[in-house]
Amino acid sequence: MLFEVDVEKKIGDFSLEVAFSLSGKKYGIFGPSGSGKSTLMHILAGLLKPDRGRIVLDGVPLFDSDRKIHLPPQQRRVGVVFQHSHLFPHMNVRRNLIYGWQRTPAVKRRITPEAIIEALNLEHLLERGVNRLSGGERQRVALGRTVLSCPRLILMDEPLTGLDQELKFQIIPYLRKVLEQFGIPLLFISHSLEEIRLMTDEVLVFEQGRIEQRLAVEDLARRHLVSGSRGYANLLNLTSPRPHGDLWSYQWGSSQLILAEPGGSGDNLFVLGAKDITLFKRHPVATSARNLLPCLVSDVFGDGNRMGVALDFKGSHLVSQIVPESVRELDIRKGVEVVAVIKASAFRRLY
């Protein structure tokens, strides 16, 4: 995919002026509410006409003010998952799902309803009216409906906002799985750093209708360790939990971690606060913590009273957050060895 955007739009006092080009798979648009993210989404989908500029998807101009091209939404083949699902209230789940599919030319149907119904686990809901679905089920149906229209690109506008934490993490694996399985590029709009980190690889940071920065999602998270109020969270994908006394042992890359929480088969995503990783200069002789990982410091970043220490443990990565005083006392710098100590109970399971 190659998606080139260079547009301007003025609405009252607010002006949007963005230019970017995307070529990878999963991008995030991150910014506070009111920064123009949704306006941009409407422009890209063709629901709002920019004042000037051009939008080109894989060489096909969707909008070009010079050449007077403005493709209507139904001709763009750009899918949208809206914040409030917008399932058609007078249709059941099945009819909602196939609405876009029926309107896709047969030669462009790359995905079958059966595959989506299975991937999203919707079989038992097909005949149900959409008003009798839970919030999470609604978003799953909305996602399936959009994917079934076989779009060249999917825009998601805060699709998880309004769902509670637990539901959110039930949906995310579905989102990731479907996008991966059917190979559809994603532009994910959100004001939640957590969602952006879970869903995307690269981020455009939005501020008052402008793109402030463009960076890898990991860099954005590290930046928030320094400036944000909530610190940095390590996201760990752990597999094959096995009982380990009262605790559980998980596979993490090529090594093991001991956790208090049981998990399921397949992928388990855990969050571990950077503050919950204590660093020791030498191996502590006796400690109550269950995980002692000899690591190599790969980076020290940040200033002020919060610093991040990036750690490399047998090829896996962690970030620990400590105060500058500790950095000085322990003489932590790039290349030195430290022991990261983590309690078994410090991990919180997301899904």
| Residues making contact with another protein (CB under 8 A) | 45-47, 72-74, 76-80, 82, 84, 86, 88-90, 99-100, 103-104, 129, 145-146, 149
CB-nearer residue toward another protein: 86 or 244: 86
Minimum CB–partner distance for residue 146 and another protein (Å) = 7
Decide if 252 contacts 240 (C-beta within 8 A).
Answer: no
Minimum CB–partner distance for residue 313 and another protein (Å) = 45
Residues in the chain: 351
Structure tokens at 302: 């940040």
CB-nearer residue toward another protein: 156 or 332: 156
CA distance linking residue 213 with residue 216, whole number of Å: 10
Question: Coil, helix or strand for 133?
Answer: coil
Minimum CB–partner distance for residue 121 and another protein (Å) = 22
CB-nearer residue toward another protein: 103 or 282: 103
With tokens 């410090």, the residue in question is 346
Minimum CB–partner distance for residue 202 and another protein (Å) = 24
CB-nearer residue toward another protein: 78 or 310: 78
Minimum CB–partner distance for residue 42 and another protein (Å) = 8
CA distance linking residue 300 with residue 310, whole number of Å: 6
CB-nearer residue toward another protein: 127 or 331: 127
Minimum CB–partner distance for residue 131 and another protein (Å) = 9
CB-nearer residue toward another protein: 47 or 323: 47
